[in-house]
C-alpha cells in the first residue's frame, strides 16, 4: 500500500478548503470539480486543475461556523483529507459572500484563543494516555468527526485504501489530532472501514501549522502502533510519516509559543506604541508556564530565505531569529502574515511556483 499523492496536491487541497461556502453543496452531496473551480476563479483554477484535479477526485466537503474540511478520493483509489485554517477577516471582502463570512472568521479566531489544555479520561481515550491538547483545536476536530468517519465509510467501506491527511495553519493542528485519533480511538473498532485504519495512513503533511498538544500528546504521537491480526501485523509511527512544512518568517508555527518570546516580538514590532512593560511582564509570568508546555510533532521541513527546502531540524533559536528578521522587513510594508498564507505573493504556493521545493515525501 503506497500513495502517489504529492505535497503539492496536499497544498492545493488545503487551498480548496478556504473556498467552501454555504452556497455550495455540502455534507453528503458530491461537490464536483467544476463547482469548486467556478468558486476559485480563473487565476487559481488553472493551477489547481493541473496540480490536484488531474487525479480526478470525487469529493465531499464539510462547513460549519468555525470549521471546514475537504475529502477526496482519486482515480487511483487513494483518500486525501484536507482541513482548513482560520478564515482571515480580510478574506475576499469585495464580495457579498465573503462579507457574510465575518462571523465565521470571528468564531474561528476565538477558537484559536482557547489555548488552555483539555485533558481528562475522554481525551486519554481519544489521543492516548496522559495526553493534553489545545481545547479549541480539539473542539474543531470534534465538530467534524462524525462527518469525517461517514465519508471514510462511504469512500472506503472495506478499509483498504491508503490515506493522506493534510492541513494549513489551524488545519495542520487538526490534521495532527485527527491522525492520532484515527490510530488510537479506532484500534478496537469492529467496523470494517475503521479496522486497522492507522496502518492505512501513509503521510500527514502540514503547512504553517501551530502546535496541538503537550508532552504526553507528543509521546503518543511518536509511539509505534501495531495493527493487524496475530502473526500478521504491521507497525506505524505517525511521527516518522508526518512532514511539517514551515517557512522562514512564518509566526504561526510558534503558536502557542513561549510567552516571553511572544512578548519580545510584540515589543520589537510595536516599539512605537505605549505598551506597558509592567503589564507585559505580568502577562508573561502568568502565561509562560502554560504556553511552553506545547510540543511540536513530526519531521520539520524548513524553507529558508534562500527558497530551498532543508530537512535538518533547524533550531528553535535560529527559527526565532528568522522570525525577527521577517517582522523587521515585512513590518515596513504592513503585511506581517503574507508569508503564512497560501496564494499570497510570498506564500506557500507561490513559493512552490518559484522553486520546486515540495517533493513527494519518501
Can you say whether the dihedral through the CA atoms of 59, 62, 66, 67 is positive or negative? negative
Question: What is the model's pLDDT at position 153?
Answer: 92
Q: pLDDT for 210-226, tens place per residue?
A: 999 999 999 999 999 88
Question: What is the model's pLDDT at position 99?
Answer: 43
Can you say whether the dihedral through the CA atoms of 321, 303, 112, 197 is positive or negative? negative
Higher local confidence (pLDDT), 140 or 81: 81
Question: What is the model's pLDDT at position 306?
Answer: 58
Q: pLDDT for 180-199, tens place per residue?
A: 999 987 776 778 888 788 88
Contact present, 162 and 1 (Cβ < 8 Å): yes
Backbone dihedral angles phi then psi of residue 117, each to the nearest 5 degrees: -75, 145
Question: What is the model's pLDDT at position 149?
Answer: 93
Superfamily of the domain at 7-246: Alpha/Beta hydrolase fold, catalytic domain (3.40.50.1820)
Question: What is the model's pLDDT at position 308?
Answer: 58
The C-alpha atoms of residue 98 and residue 31 are separated, in whole angstroms, by 20
Contact present, 176 and 151 (Cβ < 8 Å): no
Cβ-in-10-Å burial (0-12, 13-18, 19+) of 217 comes to: buried
Q: pLDDT for 348-361, tens place per residue?
A: 776 665 555 444 44
Give the domain ranges of the chain.
7-246, 257-293
Q: What is the largest CA-CA distance in the chain?
A: 67
The C-alpha atoms of residue 292 and residue 289 are separated, in whole angstroms, by 6
Q: pLDDT for 223-262, tens place per residue?
A: 998 887 777 778 889 999 999 998 888 888 887 765 555 5
Amino acid at each position: 500500500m503506497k500513495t502517489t499523492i504529492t505535497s503539492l496536491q496536499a497544498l492545493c487541497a488545503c487551498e480548496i478548503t478556504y473556498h467552501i461556502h454555504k452556497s455550495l453543496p455540502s455534507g453528503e452531496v458530491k461537490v464536483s470539480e467544476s463547482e469548486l473551480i467556478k468558486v476559485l476563479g480563473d487565476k487559481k483554477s488553472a493551477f489547481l486543475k493541473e496540480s490536484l484535479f488531474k487525479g480526478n477526485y470525487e469529493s465531499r466537503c464539510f462547513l460549519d461556523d468555525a470549521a471546514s474540511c475537504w475529502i477526496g478520493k482519486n482515480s487511483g483509489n487513494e483518500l486525501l483529507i484536507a482541513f482548513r485554517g482560520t478564515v482571515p477577516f480580510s478574506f475576499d471582502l469585495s464580495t457579498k459572500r465573503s462579507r457574510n463570512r465575518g462571523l465565521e472568521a470571528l468564531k474561528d479566531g476565538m477558537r484559536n484563543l482557547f489555548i488552555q489544555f483539555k485533558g481528562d479520561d475522554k481525551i486519554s481515550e481519544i489521543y492516548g494516555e496522559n495526553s493534553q491538547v489545545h481545547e479549541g483545536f480539539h473542539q474543531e476536530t470534534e465538530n467534524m468527526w462524525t462527518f469525517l468517519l461517514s465519508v471514510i465509510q462511504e469512500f472506503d467501506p472495506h478499509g483498504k485504501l491508503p490515506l493522506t491527511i493534510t492541513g494549513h495553519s489551524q488545519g495542520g493542528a487538526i490534521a495532527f489530532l485527527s491522525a492520532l485519533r484515527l490510530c488510537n480511538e479506532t484500534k478496537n473498532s469492529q467496523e470494517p472501514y475503521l479496522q486497522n485504519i492507522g496502518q492505512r495512513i501513509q503521510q500527514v503533511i502540514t503547512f504553517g501549522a501551530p502546535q496541538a498538544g503537550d508532552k504526553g500528546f507528543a509521546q503518543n504521537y511518536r509511539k509505534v502502533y501495531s495493527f493487524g491480526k496475530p502473526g500478521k501485523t504491521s507497525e506505524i509511527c505517525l511521527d516518522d510519516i508526518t512532514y511539517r512544512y514551515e517557512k522562514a518568517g512564518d509566526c504561526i508555527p510558534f503558536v502557542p509559543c513561549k510567552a516571553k518570546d511572544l512578548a519580545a516580538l510584540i515589543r520589537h514590532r510595536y516599539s512605537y506604541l505605549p505598551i506597558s512593560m509592567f503589564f507585559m511582564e505580568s502577562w508573561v509570568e502568568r502565561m509562560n508556564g502554560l504556553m511552553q508546555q506545547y510540543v511540536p510533532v513530526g519531521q520539520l521541513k524548513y524553507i529558508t530565505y534562500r527558497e530551498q527546502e532543508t530537512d535538518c531540524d533547524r533550531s528553535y533559536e535560529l527559527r526565532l531569529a528568522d522570525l525577527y528578521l521577517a517582522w523587521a522587513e515585512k513590518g515596513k510594508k504592513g503585511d506581517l502574515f503574507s508569508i503564512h498564507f497560501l496564494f499570497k505573493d510570498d506564500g506557500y504556493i507561490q513559493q512552490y511556483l518559484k522553486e520546486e521545493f515540495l517533493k513527494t515525501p519518501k
